[in-house]
Amino acid sequence: MLNIPTITLLILTAVAFAVPLPARAVETAAETKESDGGGPVHMLTGNEPSYFALAHDENDLENHVEFYLSIKYPLLTGTIESWLGERSRLYFNYNGKYDFYVFSRDSSPIISRRQNPGLMYEYLRPPVSHFHLQSFKTGYFHESNGQTVDTIEEYRTLDNAADYVSRGWDYIPLTLNFAVSQNRHGFFGNLYAAFEGRYFLDHQLFRHDREDEIFWEPVAEQPRIEDYDGIRTKLSTVLVLPYIKAREIKFCATLRSGSREFNLSQRYEATFRLFDLPLYVYYFRGYGIELATYHEKGVTYGIGVEFW
């Protein structure tokens, strides 16, 4: 169980490795070269937006604080450039999601919800037209929740047992990122679209098999993670508001479905500055609010701050 100083350190880490707004997205490979910044630690940057939010899950009576940390670190930059060209990058990625039950549980435990490390190869393309392919990504990733319960006997002995159901699988992603360059004096800023497919492997790298079976209740047929995940689309833009001091609102919509069956999940996010704070709100409706119950449908929403 983590204490308050540890939590504070994690929050400060999220702030330090902030992710830029899409409006500031990099357009050329020359602009994306990492500076040594005075030392290798400065090469650590954000991957996806990191946030800290008060969240409510309609399937759960307990409100909680949710925080998400996403970072990446370049590996073998000189070697990769010499082998594959100056527009190629190899990164170590880490995405982690945690729920902090500060209001409702003794000792205010933090529950690990998602641990998602991996190696990512990225190829950046220069903008050759108004609408262009911005980057191509692939790699090898592990996704789990860092929990341990995998038998019905253990499950029956625990309070909040669903929080501790072990989940884990490896996958290979393929992501295409497109950009539509706009005149920044209009209502819309640049538009971005990402299309991603995931191929889930039958075995984990350090285990004999993946963990996605429902063992604590009878089911007519065991679901698979690819029934609820595997195809993703993300659209994002920055709305320019000339008569409001905040001036810009970042908006993202993510749609997800299974690659074997069509089970739609939706997530909508908005970020804008209020009193110099990046206020963040999100709404999710669909399957897999948590990895432990990826096959269950629900609704969750939250409000907090996002770090770029």
Instruction: Please name the helix (run of DSSP H) or strand (run of DSSP E) that holds residue 163, with its range, or none.
Output: none
Domain 4-307 has CATH 3.30.365.10: no
Which of 167, 133, 171 shows the shortest CA–CA distance to 149? 167
pLDDT computed for residue 186 by the predictor: 52
- Contact between 149 and 165 under an 8 Å Cβ cutoff? The reply is yes
Q: Which residue has the higher pLDDT, 125 or 169?
A: 169
When computed from its CA atoms, the radius of gyration of the chain, rounded to whole angstroms, is: 20
Mean pLDDT across the chain: 83
Q: Which residue has the higher pLDDT, 104 or 48?
A: 48
Check whether 9 has a pLDDT greater than 50. no
Cβ within 8 Å of residue 39, ≥6 positions away: none
The span from the CA of 203 to the CA of 209, in Å, is: 4
Q: How far apart are the first and last CA of the chain?
A: 28
pLDDT computed for residue 40 by the predictor: 57
Q: Stretch 128-144: mean pLDDT, rounded?
A: 90
Region of 276 (left: φ > 0; alpha: ψ -120 to 50; beta: rest) is left
Token output for 166: 């072990």
pLDDT computed for residue 6 by the predictor: 41
Q: Tell me how many helices (H) and strands (E) the chain has.
A: 4, 13
pLDDT, tens only, 161-218: 999 999 999 999 999 999 887 655 455 567 899 999 999 999 998 777 899 999 998 8
Instruction: Please name the helix (run of DSSP H) or strand (run of DSSP E) that holds residue 129, with its range, or none.
Output: none
Cα torsion 229, 230, 231, 236 to 10°: value is: 70
Using CA atoms, how far residue 239 sits from 23, 78, 130, 189, 190, in Å, is 10, 38, 18, 6, 9
The span from the CA of 133 to the CA of 60, in Å, is: 41
pLDDT computed for residue 25 by the predictor: 37
- Contact between 83 and 76 under an 8 Å Cβ cutoff? The reply is no
Q: Which residue has the higher pLDDT, 231 or 16?
A: 231
Check whether 301 has a pLDDT greater than 80. yes
Which of 48, 38, 107, 120 shows the shortest CA–CA distance to 80? 120
Q: Quote the Cα angle for 262-238-123, to 5°.
A: 65
Q: Which residue has the higher pLDDT, 224 or 105?
A: 224
pLDDT computed for residue 72 by the predictor: 94
pLDDT computed for residue 208 by the predictor: 76
